[in-house]
Amino acid sequence: MSASFDRILPGATLGVMGGGQLGRMFVHAAQSMGYFTAVLDPDVSSPAGRVSHHHIRADYLDPQGLAQLSAVCDAITTEFENVPAPALAALAKSRPVAPDAAAVGIAQDRAQEKAHFVRCGVPCAPYAVIDSAEALAAVPTELLPGILKTARMGYDGKGQVRVADAATLAAAWAQFKHVTCVLEKMLPLAAECSVIVARGRDGAMVHLPPQRNLHREGILAVTEVYEGNLPLAQMASAVTAAKSIAEGLAYVGVLCVEFFLLQDGALVVNEIAPRPHNSGHYSMDACDVSQFELQVRTLAGLPLVTPRQHSPAIMLNLLGDLWFDANGVRPAAVTAPTAPPWAEVLALPGTHLHLYGKLEAKPGRKMGHLNITGATVEEVRATALQASQLLGLDAF
C-alpha cells in the first residue's frame, strides 16, 4: 500500500529518479523554493546529481540505493519515463511517489498507451499491435503506409521506422527482432502541438498554454507559444483531451500530451510523457509559474495555480551538433569542443540561455535550450531567427 500523504513544506527533501537535464531543472526549482534535494543516478557526472544536496550513485533497481533515497527523502518523483516502474512501486511502499508506477508503466508501453487513449475517448491514429506472426499477417492494408514503433524504449525518433507496404513492414519487424510493436497509419499532418498539465492528489488540475512544435529527425527543434500559434478550437480540444488522459490515469504530477493536427483540422493524440517536457521549457522565462515549479507543487501537495504567460515565446533546442561543423567533426580538428557564439546570441534582446552542465558535446545530445521572449510575436520571431542564424540552425 502506498504511503499516506501530507503536505510537504519547504525545508523538507524532495527526491528525483534520474539525473539528466529535466532532473537538474527540477532540482533548481525545488531549491529556489527552499527544499533540499536528492538524486538517484548511476552517472557520477549527471547534470542533476552535480547540483543536488545528495547524489546517490546507484542503478535504478539497486535495493540499497532505493533504500537510501527513501531514507533521505520526504517524497520522490521521476525525470524520465524509462525509470523502471518496479523501482517506483518499491519506493511508494514508504514514501509518496508522483507520478506512480502504474501511470509510468502505461507511458512506457505504446500498446498500453494507445489502449488508454481509446478508453478515454481521445482520438489517435488508427493502429495495430504486432506481437506475433499471426498479428503481422492480420494487419489491415488500410494501415499502410505507416510507422512501425517498438512498444517499449522508444523516444526522440528512436525505435521507429516508416513502412510502405506489407513486405517492408515484415522486414522492419524482423529488424526490431520481433519485439512487440505498434503500427500506426501515416496521416497528413499540418502541425504538431503539445499540452502540459499538472494534476494534484486532490484532483486539482492546471495547464500551460498549448505549444506548437517543430521536430527535425524525430527530435524537438522549435516550440512557439503565443496567441494565434494554433487554431482556437483545436487548442481547446487539445486541453480537454490532455485533462481527460490525466484524469483517466488518476495522474499526479506534470504530464505532457503530444498531438498531431491534421490537414483536415482533426486533432489526434500521439503520445504522453509522464514528466516535464522540452516543449514546456519556454515556461521558465515566459510564465509566472514554470513546468518545474508545477512539478514541485504536485509532488509536495502545494496549491496549484494556473500559470500566466506574460510574453510571447519561442524555444530553440540546442543539440551537441552546434559544437561541431556540418560534417560532424570539431572545427579545425581541435581536441576541445568549440563553443557556439554565446556572446553574440546573448546580445540579442530577450534571449535566455539554459545549458545543462553536460561535460561533453555529442551530435544529437541535448545540451541546452534558448528561450526568446519579447513584447510582440513579430519581435520574438525576428530575434529567434537571428539567433538561429548565429547558431547555424535552419530557419523555421
362 annotated to bind ligand? no
Q: How many helices (H) does the chain have, and how many strands (E)?
A: 12, 17
Any binding-site annotation on 208?
no
Ramachandran angles phi, psi of 65, nearest 5°: -65, -45
How many C-beta atoms surround the C-beta of residue 61 within 10 A? 12
159 known ligand binder: yes
Is 192 labeled as ligand-binding? yes
> 3-class SS at 264?
coil
Output DSSP code: residue 210: P
Query: How many Cβ atoms from other residues are within 10 Å of residue 148's Cβ?
Result: 23
User: 157 among the known binding-site residues?
Assistant: yes
Are 64 and 90 in contact, with CB atoms under 8 Å apart?
no
> Please, where are the H alpha helices in the chain?
21-32, 63-72, 85-91, 101-107, 110-120, 133-137, 166-175, 232-248, 283-286, 291-300, 342-346, 377-391
**Contacting residues for 61 by C-beta, under 8 A, at least 6 apart:** 84, 86, 87
Q: Rounded to whole angstroms, how far apart are CA atoms 189 and 125?
A: 11
17: helix, coil or strand? Answer: strand
Strands 75-78 and 13-17: parallel
Q: Is 215 annotated as a binding residue?
A: yes
Residue 158, annotated as binding a ligand = yes
186 belongs to an annotated ligand binding site? yes
Q: Is 358 annotated as a binding residue?
A: no
Q: Which residue has the cell 518496479?
A: 86
Q: Are 50 and 37 in contact (CB under 8 A)?
A: no
Cell of 340: 557556439
Rounded to a whole number of angstroms, the distance between the first and last alpha carbons of the chain is 50
Torsions phi, psi of 331, nearest 5?
Answer: -55, 140
C-alpha span between 353 and 339 (Å, rounded): 13
Question: Annotated binding residue at 93?
Answer: no
Q: Does 217 count as an annotated binding residue?
A: no
185 annotated to bind ligand: yes
CA atoms 360, 32, 255, 393: torsion sign: negative
Annotated ligand binding at 270? The verdict is: yes
The CA distance from 57 to 299, in Å, is: 22
- Give binding residues for ATP as ranges: 110, 149, 154-160, 184-187, 192, 215, 270-271
- Give binding residues as ranges: 110, 149, 154-160, 184-187, 192, 215, 270-271
